[in-house]
Structure 1
Amino acid sequence: MPMDSKDKRTAKNKHFIASLEFALQGIKTVFKEERNMRTHTLMGIAAIIVGFVLRLVISEWLWLLLAIFLVLVMEIINTVFENVVDMVTDFHFHPIGKKIKDMAAGAVLLTTGFAVVVGVLLFVPKIWQILQDFL
Structure 2
Amino acid sequence: MVYHNTHSANSQYLVPSSRSIVQELSLPKPPKPESNHRFKRDLAWCIAPTLMVSFKYAWAGVRYAFVTQRNFRIHTLIGIVAISLAILLDLTPVEIAVIGLTSGLVMTLELLNTAVEAVVDLTVKQSYHELAKVAKDCAAGAVLISAIAALLVAGSLLLPPLMTRILLLIR
TM over 0.5, shorter chain: yes
Question: Between Structure 1 and Structure 2, which shows a larger proportion of helix residues?
Answer: 1
Aligned partners of 2:65 and 2:72 also within 8 Å:
yes
Q: Give the aligned partner of residue 156 of structure 2.
A: 121
Cα pair 2:87 2:96 within 8 Å, conserved: no
TM-score (norm 2): 0.70
Q: Deviation digits for residues 18-52 of structure 1, max 9, x if unmatched?
A: 11111111111111110110111111111122112
Alignment pair present for 1:34 and 2:69: yes
Unaligned runs of 5+ in 2: 1-42
Q: Which has the higher strand share?
A: 2
After superposition, the CA RMSD in angstroms is 1.6
Q: Show structure 1 runs of 5+ residues with no match.
A: 1-7
Matches within 5 A, 1:13-92: 13-92=48-127
> 2:126 & 2:154 partners in 1: Cα distance?
37
Larger radius of gyration: 2
- Equivalent pairs: percent with the same residue? 32
Structure 1: which 4+ aligned runs deviate by more than 4 Å?
A: none
**Partner Cα distance (1:106, 1:132) in 2:** 37
Normalised by the length of structure 1, the TM-score is 0.88
Aligned mate of 2:140, from 105, 108, 119: 105
Higher relative CO (Cα under 8 Å, sequence separation at least 6) belongs to 1
The aligned length equals 128
Q: Which AA in structure 1 matches 2:53?
A: A
TM-aligned CA deviation for residue 9 of structure 1: 5.8
